[in-house]
A and B are shown apart, each in its own frame.
Chain A
Amino acid sequence: MTAISAEPTRRDFLYIATGTVGAIGAAATLVPLIAQMNPNASTIAAGAPIEVELGPVAEGQVIKVFWRGKPVFINHRTKKEIDEARSVNLASLPDPQPDSARVKQGHDQWQVLIGICTHLGCIPLAHSGDYNGYFCPCHGSQYDTSGRIRRGPAPANLPLPPYEFLSDTKIRIG
């Protein structure tokens, strides 16, 4: 029998050191097990930017393109739709954002957004709902012609993808 002493012994140190190394090792083992579930290299590579020709999109038409598996809506808005989007009292919006911050300057007619409802990921229908914008059939969220949430359970405006105008009729998304 070893006498129990209040002083830490060399054996205590060895126990703690061994336990610590074991715990760190176990935690390190979790890293690959968890990381393997994140997007793999080919998925990331397939998420490269895409270019879209805007010429064929008529005024009042909405086209859908896919970027990273997500539908991107490109809405060639009419003058009426732009006016509707700009005449809203911002203070009344759940997620206040001026329309000008949701389009590229000088390209007011082109509304480019990710067509995924910010509630639970359904795809809203274009040109529908009470605000003539987007209506999500799953749980009834309503967006206006700027893609801003107006009513329903969605917490935020439809997100904007990163994109830029290469020319007046061509954009690059991503």
Chain B
Amino acid sequence: MSGPSTYQPQNAFMKWLERRLPIAGLVYSSFVVYPTPRNLNYWWTFGGILTFMLGVQLITGIVLAMHYTPHVDYAFNSIETIMRDVNYGWLLRYLHSNGASMFFLAAYVHMLRGMYYGSYKDPREVLWILGVILLLLMIMTGFMGYVLPWGQMSFWAATVITNLFSAIPIVGESVVTWLWGGYSVGNPTLNRFYSLHYLLPFVIVGVVVLHVWALHMVGQNNPTGVEPKSEKDTVAFTPYATIKDSFVMVCFMIVYAWFVFYLPNYMGHPDNYIPANPAVTPTHIVPEWYYLPFYAILRAIPDKLMGVMALGASIVILAFLPWLDTSRVRSANYRPLYRQFFWIFVIVCVGLGWLGAKPAEGGYVIAARILTFYYFAHFLVILPVLGWVEKTKPLPNSISESILAPNRAAI
């Protein structure tokens, strides 16, 4: 999409720089004149929000690292010191812990938008897969960050999640000992999690660069799913997308700030304000809300190895979505059946999340099994079959026609 830059440096210094490092030209062609489909709706603003959240997490995280001590004897108290003694420490920590929730919220909306409008289809498969890799990196980073306060939930989350690897036949136990650096979760574990929690966000930044690069190679999808064909179908990124993104970002910040200032512990668990105790498991352990659907899938399977494999498969299967969906029509706006199955899928995911927070007993387990079955059936049965049997609506000839035609009819 973005051809050779049309950037014309104005002053002498920029002219000098542009001949040596054409960074201003790159920014200009990628974020100013870059053509975006003129019909993008608000669901397309979450990429910007995610970039913003990544920045917030990096800044607050680096600041928190200045006050945190990664040692089993001091970690919990250093968090309390941040909360009580460090200037604005409470604010920075609440921004970071609630920031993780908002980051995942934005990521899930972003992914569901991609699923609704078929944004993963040819030629955007690599763009989509990079997104799945980003989700995996976020899950790992979020998990390791949750361990750092070294409360009861931290400790037992670390124990349960590292024990997932013990399901691997033969080498499982050795792998877990290697992950722990000991015979149980302990100080070496906390130290390495801290190191990796600091590292992974920068890996995320790197993959985000690839994600944006791939996006600018193939261009944005849009609500019609029809590729832009002429100048009439696009508008310049700045000011159109920039202003729209900024507006939604401010709205998103209101929600974020509301949690930070009024409900800072709403998405956490009181048990994590009890220092880690290797002798007692809390009676009801649950992960953070953004892992609950995956946790429900893990618990739904009565076999350990199969449960762990289902958990992994529930995320990895997303990477195969471009090939599992056999329909050639991208947008659900023109796929009457898929649109219904999409919303059923959303309800199933929310339902799994709800079940993940419930105790693993009785009717909850049965319900979790049904929904787990449906989750996989959506990808492995429904999507491939829909592509063959669904009668799609006629696509507009172009983006501008889809916008202008109904208005003309009204006149």
Q: Is the interface of B mostly helix, strand, loop or mixed?
A: loop
- Separation in Å of the A158 CB from the closest CB of chain B? 14
- A96: which B residues are within 8 A, CB to CB? none
Interface size bracket, A side: 20 to 34
A125-161 to B contact mask, C-beta < 8 Å, 1/0: 0000000000011111000000000001111000000
Q: How far, in angstroms, from A38 to B177 measured CA to CA in the complex?
A: 7
Cβ-defined contact, B184 with A122, below 8 A = no
Instruction: Find A37's partner among B179, B303, B307 (CB 8 Å cutoff).
Output: B179
How many A-B residue pairs have C-beta atoms within 8 angstroms? Tell me. 87
Cβ-defined contact, A37 with B192, below 8 A = yes
- A118: which B residues are within 8 A, CB to CB? 304
- A123: which B residues are within 8 A, CB to CB? 279-281
Cβ-defined contact, B177 with A39, below 8 A = yes
Cβ-defined contact, A122 with B285, below 8 A = yes
User: Which B86-134 residues have a C-beta within 8 angstroms of A?
Assistant: none
CB of A92 within 8 Å of the partner chain: no
- A139: which B residues are within 8 A, CB to CB? 299, 360
Q: Which of A4-12, A16-24, A67-75, A78-86 contacts B (4 or more CB under 8 A)?
A: A67-75
CB of B305 within 8 Å of the partner chain: yes
- B302: which A residues are within 8 A, CB to CB? 152-153
Cβ-defined contact, B281 with A40, below 8 A = no
Q: How far, in angstroms, from A123 to B160 measured CA to CA in the complex?
A: 11
Q: How far, in angstroms, from A43 to B268 measured CA to CA in the complex?
A: 33
B184's closest neighbor in chain A, by CB? A69
Q: Evaluate whether A155 and B159 lie within 8 angstroms (CB atoms) in the complex, with A43-B188, A69-B182, A69-B278 already known.
A: no
Cβ-defined contact, B181 with A37, below 8 A = yes
CB of B19 within 8 Å of the partner chain: no
- 3 closest A-B pairs by beta carbon, nearest first, are A69-B184, A68-B183, A121-B163
Chain A contacts to B: CB under 8 angstroms: 34, 37-40, 43, 47, 64, 66, 68-71, 118-123, 136-140, 152-155
23 inter-chain pairs at a CB distance below 8 angstroms, sorted by A residue, are: A34-B178, A37-B178, A37-B188, A38-B177, A38-B181, A39-B181, A39-B183, A39-B188, A40-B181, A43-B182, A43-B186, A66-B279, A119-B163, A120-B159, A120-B164, A120-B166, A121-B163, A121-B166, A122-B160, A123-B279, A137-B284, A153-B303, A155-B305
